[in-house]
């Protein structure tokens, strides 16, 4: 079977289990998850979906999210979109969309909090930028290595331009996505945000200070684009239709641009500088404790899908310092997860089903994709999820301790984690020392996650419930004519 056929087969297997094409109102994806807007949540067959070999887990949030893993999700999504387009008659789309919007609004009103909805919006702005950040970050790391080795001196300037071009204009892309996310005209958001990176702002004095191109960074771009959306919406209400095409974009760019130049750039610049200064101060003065807390609490954020709301902070640090010192610490959460999974594997020698899940998910987890183990192993078991967090806390504390000692470890881009972060590592000391500290943190996370889970991750009742021969139980159950079921998450 070709790769295209395989991806289409995965999409075809998923479609009926989420209620068919008629039940899908939107299709999107992030790094690892297929995100579906559903009209009727009750039509979804959760257990059947989880049983599909290609599905690593499911998450119910603002959208219904199916964890397929990096690479796979980007290829399956267009296949599913094509199947939905083929199956749903065009003349009923508006009617179904209205029904789906009503159901979605009712569920949002019942379950969603304003803060969580705000974080999702922020994440939606920055998530589409991750592929470019990864690509440019890896090229920057390669270029730094070549410069240190003295190789290819005629090529390194070109690589530097390729790696830096996107970051130089990232404010424009943030402004574009922000306006789009908040319901405005995307290109107007990008136009206003482009003022921030325009070299000519160096001729402007504000509050007794001369502005610098890029001052305010992504935070300034985000604020400028949000302001542009509100100005545009106000213009749409009050400007006559005959003049709208001329007046609305002009006033939007003019008003938002003036506020950006004479206010937002300065304020956002101060905030961005404060974020960088606080991160440096925190790790220099309380690095071990801060690393312990950040590494220990990151897995719950991943579980909720809210970890992407940290992207603006990472991006701000990369703009200022060339790397984010937070990401290597947060990556230790995945190390704790790996160690915990290894302990579970040894503690449940008779449970072939869980052991197969761990074996299949471990390679991706070593590369920083922790969701398969979270939703397939540690979270359903209960205690191992907590002990995995303990492993991440100690790994984060290890990296944070070296920050206190003056050895900063950072990442030149965001997205990858685990072993995949090695090509992106950078710091204030030599590359070898930076790699050694990060690798040491991973080993601490693996070891503590394993030990904590092996000795304290299982109660006697939990072992009795899960350390059973699942294949034999399934065969007996089926022979008796009783349908097999997946056990409920453990109560610990």
Is residue 30 annotated as a catalytic residue, yes or no? Answer: yes
Chain Cα centroid distance, residue 442: 20
Q: What DSSP letter does each residue of 295-336 carry, written as one string? A: HHHHHHHHHHT-GGGGHHHHHHHHHHHSSBSHHHHHTHHHHH
For the chain, give the number of residues.
Answer: 492
CB 170 within 8 A of CB 137: no
CA-based nearest residue to 320, from 260, 261, 270, 263: 270
Return the structure tokens found at 471.
Answer: 């294949």
Tokens 């995100």 found at: 35
Distance, in Å, from the CA atom of 428 to the CA atom of 284, rounded to the nearest integer, reads 13
Using a 10 angstrom Cβ sphere, with 0-12 exposed, 13-18 middle and 19 or more buried, the burial of residue 315 is buried
Distance, in Å, from the CA atom of 10 to the CA atom of 4, rounded to the nearest integer, reads 10
Distance, in Å, from the CA atom of 97 to the CA atom of 38, rounded to the nearest integer, reads 10
The answer for residues whose C-beta is within 8 angstroms of residue 82's C-beta and 6 or more apart is: 8, 11
CB 179 within 8 A of CB 229: yes
Q: Could you tell me whether strands 409-411 and 57-60 are parallel, antiparallel, or unpaired per DSSP bridges?
A: unpaired
Distance, in Å, from the CA atom of 307 to the CA atom of 338, rounded to the nearest integer, reads 18
Distance, in Å, from the CA atom of 206 to the CA atom of 215, rounded to the nearest integer, reads 12
CB 100 within 8 A of CB 64: no
CB 332 within 8 A of CB 299: no
| Dihedral sign computed on CA atoms, order 367, 370, 376, 379 | positive
Count helices and strands in the chain by DSSP H and E runs: 22, 8
Distance, in Å, from the CA atom of 325 to the CA atom of 181, rounded to the nearest integer, reads 28
The answer for residues whose C-beta is within 8 angstroms of residue 54's C-beta and 6 or more apart is: 10, 13, 68, 72, 76
CB 332 within 8 A of CB 440: no
CA-based nearest residue to 299, from 226, 375, 245: 375
Name the residues annotated as catalytic: 30
């Amino acid at each position: 079977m070709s790769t295209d056929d395989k991806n289409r087969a995965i999409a075809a297997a998923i479609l009926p289990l989420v209620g068919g094409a008629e039940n899908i109102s939107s299709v999107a994806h992030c790094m690892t998850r297929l995100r579906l807007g559903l009209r009727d949540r009750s039509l979804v067959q959760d257990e059947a979906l989880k049983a599909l070999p290609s599905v690593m887990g499911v998450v119910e949030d603002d959208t219904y999210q199916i964890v397929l893993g990096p690479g796979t999700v980007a290829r399956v999504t267009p296949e599913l979109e094509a199947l939905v387009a083929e199956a749903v008659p065009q003349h009923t789309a508006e009617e179904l969309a209205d029904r789906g919007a009503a159901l979605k609004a009712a569920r949002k009103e019942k379950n969603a909090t304003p803060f969580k909805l705000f974080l999702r919006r922020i994440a939606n702005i920055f998530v589409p930028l991750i592929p470019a950040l990864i690509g440019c970050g890896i090229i920057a790391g390669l270029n730094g290595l070549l410069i240190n080795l003295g190789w290819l001196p005629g090529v390194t300037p070109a690589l530097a331009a390729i790696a830096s071009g996107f970051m130089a204009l990232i404010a424009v892309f943030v402004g574009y996505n922000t306006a789009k996310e908040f319901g405005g005209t995307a290109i107007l958001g990008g136009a206003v945000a482009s003022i921030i990176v325009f070299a000519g702002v160096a001729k402007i004095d504000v509050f007794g200070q001369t502005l610098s191109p890029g001052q305010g960074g992504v935070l300034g771009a985000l604020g400028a684009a949000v302001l542009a959306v509100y100005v545009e919406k106000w213009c749409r209400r009050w400007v006559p239709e005959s003049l709208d095409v001329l007046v609305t974009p002009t006033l939007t760019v003019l008003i938002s641009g003036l506020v950006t130049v004479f206010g937002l750039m300065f304020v956002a610049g101060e905030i961005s500088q404060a974020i960088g200064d606080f991160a440096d101060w925190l790790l220099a003065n309380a690095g071990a404790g801060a690393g312990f807390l950040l590494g220990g609490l990151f897995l719950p954020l991943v579980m909720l899908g809210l970890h992407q709301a940290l992207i603006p902070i990472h991006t701000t640090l990369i703009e200022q310092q060339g790397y984010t010192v937070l990401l290597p610490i947060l990556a230790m959460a995945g190390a704790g997860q790996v160690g915990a999974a290894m302990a579970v594997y040894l503690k449940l020698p008779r449970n072939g089903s869980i052991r197969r899940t761990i074996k299949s998910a471990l390679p991706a987890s070593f590369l920083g994709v922790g969701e398969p183990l979270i939703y397939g192993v540690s979270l359903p078991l209960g205690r191992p999820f907590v002990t995995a967090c303990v492993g991440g806390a100690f790994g984060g504390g290890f990296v944070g301790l070296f920050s206190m000692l003056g050895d900063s470890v950072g990442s030149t881009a965001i997205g990858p984690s685990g072993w995949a972060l090695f090509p992106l590592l950078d710091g204030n000391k030599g590359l070898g020392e930076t790699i050694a500290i990060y690798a040491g943190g991973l080993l601490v996370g693996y070891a503590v996650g394993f030990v904590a889970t092996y000795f304290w991750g299982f109660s006697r009742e939990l072992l009795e419930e899960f350390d059973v021969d699942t294949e034999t139980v399934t065969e007996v159950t089926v022979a008796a004519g009783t349908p097999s079921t997946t056990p409920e998450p453990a109560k610990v």
